[in-house]
Chain A
Amino acid sequence: MNLSDGSVGLVTPQVAHFDEPFTFSSGAVLHSHELVYETYGQLNHAGDNAVLICHALSGSHHAAGYHSEEDRRPGWWDLAIGPGKPIDTNRLYVVCSNNLGCCDGSSGPNTINPATKEPWGGAFPQPQVKDWVRSQKRLAEHLNIPRWAAVIGGSLGGMQALQWAVDFPDWVEHCIALAAAPGLTAQNIAFNEIARHAILSDPDWCHGDYLAQGKLPTRGVALARMVGHLTYMSADGMSDRFGRELREGSFAPGDNSEWVFQVESYLRHQGARFSTQFDANTYVLMTRALDLFELAADYKSDLVAALSVAEADFLIASFSSDWRFPPQRSIEIRDALLAAGKPVTYANIDTDNGHDGFLLPNPTYEALLSAWMCRVGPS
């Protein structure tokens, strides 16, 4: 645990239990469900300082701080959340929940289906981004939050933030969507399909019921993660970081020992670590939720019409070397907001960090986020 940099310190996840049925867009119903979440800072009496953070594909409710003294890694967006940080917990009340269908404590494929007393596995309903928004609204009501001063997210989380602004306009005062897109391209869906195919091809997949059968499709998940991770980095960023360096073996003539490039070692490590920590069914559901996301789906695919209903002020930011959701996708959102006459600030952050840019330090990015966040919450 490192408290030197404006950390929120030790945090404890909380669980909200909901007994009223939740109906997914697909029509599937959960008779009861749980959402796990974390909060940082204090909700004020007026309830006008609450900020919702939406996590990305492999994120969780653990956005900032540490779970124990021994914890070496802080939450996934510790860069931005904390006292004195861009999302300043000295004045804002920050909420981050684990999406329904994920694997970090909220009801999902790795939790017990009350009807069968077995893990849900492949039987857990397919959630969509708009389902997560509705379930988070229940959480907000549970926490006595009347409306969000801001809904903020990057990547899939950014799409979720936009969906909030469109589906519940009077709930969202400010909206920040980082490295997001109004919908996935064929190439995006193709990469997701490769990831799913890797998982479904693993002999330990067991049609999604690996938990009940005491198995884990770690090879498939690792490969899915390796492919996914590749799309989060830029070619220049990878060259800078790994180049053609060898971790094992040498280029010496006659030395034919096993060659392991640094980049291979890195990808293998990322894949291996992820494969034991992340649930395979969740990865399938999350990538599918991404595929199905279309912000303007209820508006005949007219993005301007969709965003016209929003009442939020928007910050849209892209990252110059992001090729998963390139700047052009953020520009589509920006242009639709401008056409709809909505207040919007747009920046394209110059970085080699690729899609991961929204999670990594960058002076301009952090300064922009800090400057923009000053308008969020009571002055």
Chain B
Amino acid sequence: MDVSGRPLMSRLDLDTVLSWVPEGSRVLDLGCGDGAFLARLSEERDAIGVGVDIDPANLVTAVSRGLDVIQEDINDGLHCFTTNRFDVVILAHALQELTHPHIALQRMVDIADEAIVSFPNFGHWSCRLHLGVKGRMPMSRVMPRHWYDTPNIHFCTVMDFDALCSALHIDIIERATIAGPAQHFLGRWFPNLFATSAIYRIRRSGD
């Protein structure tokens, strides 16, 4: 989350996601929005992409970019995607909006060889400060809504995510973090406290 008004972290995490997508991959982008990132993946990584989004306006914009999009609620279980159909499945800054993040994660590592997940880190010191000192649920430019009307219903910390992967027998291939410029190295060394966002490459254990 970006409390100081710098470029939104969700844009920065996409650069990392992009760098992790191999050239020419078959990519599934869950919560693809208006398809801007999927279009970028197709241009810069020669990816063959499919988007999933529930919003009709997003769907029309994504289709007008020449993309294939499936209107579907990720919470419904992603049953339409058969096992191992994709090289990479992406869930960028949408984990916290899901009804059952753990079910989605499990399904993602089944659908694709590799999954890339990014999420805002609720363990960030500013969140702790917000909650600890003010005693109120954190709000920021990235998450400007009140607790009662936010689509973000399942916040977690970097440590929480690590623990969930372990419980689900999901291997973490790589982790990147995003932190404010002053905390760049702190974010790498102490991600749970200093990373505003975390990006994970994960896969089913044993693959």
Contact = CB atoms under 8 A, between A and B. Distances in A.
Interface of A: 313, 331, 334-335, 338-339, 341, 343-350, 364, 367-368, 371-372, 374-375
20 contacts: A313-B68, A331-B80, A335-B79, A335-B80, A338-B50, A338-B70, A339-B82, A339-B85, A345-B70, A346-B71, A347-B59, A347-B69, A348-B71, A349-B56, A350-B56, A364-B57, A367-B60, A368-B56, A371-B60, A375-B66
Interface of B: 50, 56-57, 59-61, 63-64, 66-72, 79-82, 85
Contacts of B79: 335
Contacts of B61: 371
Contact of A346 (B60, B64, B70): B70
A364 B70 contact: no
Given A348-B71, A364-B56, A338 B64 contact: no
Dominant secondary structure at the B interface: mixed
A371 B71 contact: no
Contacts of B67: 345
A338 B81 contact: yes
A166 to B, nearest CB: 19
A364 B60 CA distance: 8
A120 to B, nearest CB: 44
A341 B85 contact: yes
Contacts of B71: 346-348
A312 to B, nearest CB: 12
Contacts of A341: 85
Given A335-B80, A367-B60, A368-B59, A346 B72 contact: yes
Contact of A345 (B68, B81, B85): B68
A343 B70 CA distance: 10
Interface centre among B50, B59, B61, B71 (most CB of A within 10 A): B71
Nearest to A367: B60
B63 A371 contact: yes
A95 B80 CA distance: 34
Contacts of B69: 345-347
Contacts of B57: 364
B20 to A, nearest CB: 23
A367 B61 CA distance: 9
Contacts of B59: 345, 347, 368
A299 to B, nearest CB: 17
A332 B72 CA distance: 13
B60 A338 contact: no
Nearest to A374: B64
Contacts of B60: 364, 367-368, 371
A116 to B, nearest CB: 52
Given A344-B68, A346-B71, A334 B56 contact: no
B80 A338 contact: yes
Contacts of B66: 374-375
A346 B67 CA distance: 11
Contacts of A368: 56, 59-60, 63
Most B C-beta atoms less than 10 A away, residue of A339, A345, A372: A345
Contacts of A347: 56, 59, 69, 71
B70 to A, nearest CB: 5
B80 A334 contact: yes
A338 B82 contact: yes
A290 B68 CA distance: 29
Contacts of A350: 56
A35 to B, nearest CB: 33
Contacts of A364: 56-57, 60
B68 A334 contact: no
> Lowest 7 A-B CB distances belong to which pairs?
A371-B64, A371-B63, A335-B80, A364-B56, A367-B60, A347-B71, A339-B82
A179 to B, nearest CB: 15
A107 B85 CA distance: 46
A339 B85 CA distance: 8
A326 to B, nearest CB: 15
A371 B57 CA distance: 11
Contacts of A343: 68
Contacts of A349: 56
A105 B67 CA distance: 40
B162 to A, nearest CB: 32
A57 B66 CA distance: 32
A343 B67 CA distance: 9
Given A331-B80, A347-B56, A372 B63 contact: yes
A344 B70 contact: yes
Nearest to A346: B70
A377 to B, nearest CB: 14
A334 B79 CA distance: 12
A344 B50 CA distance: 8
A349 B60 CA distance: 11
Contacts of B85: 338-339, 341
A339 B80 CA distance: 8
A78 B75 CA distance: 38
A50 to B, nearest CB: 21
A341 B80 CA distance: 12
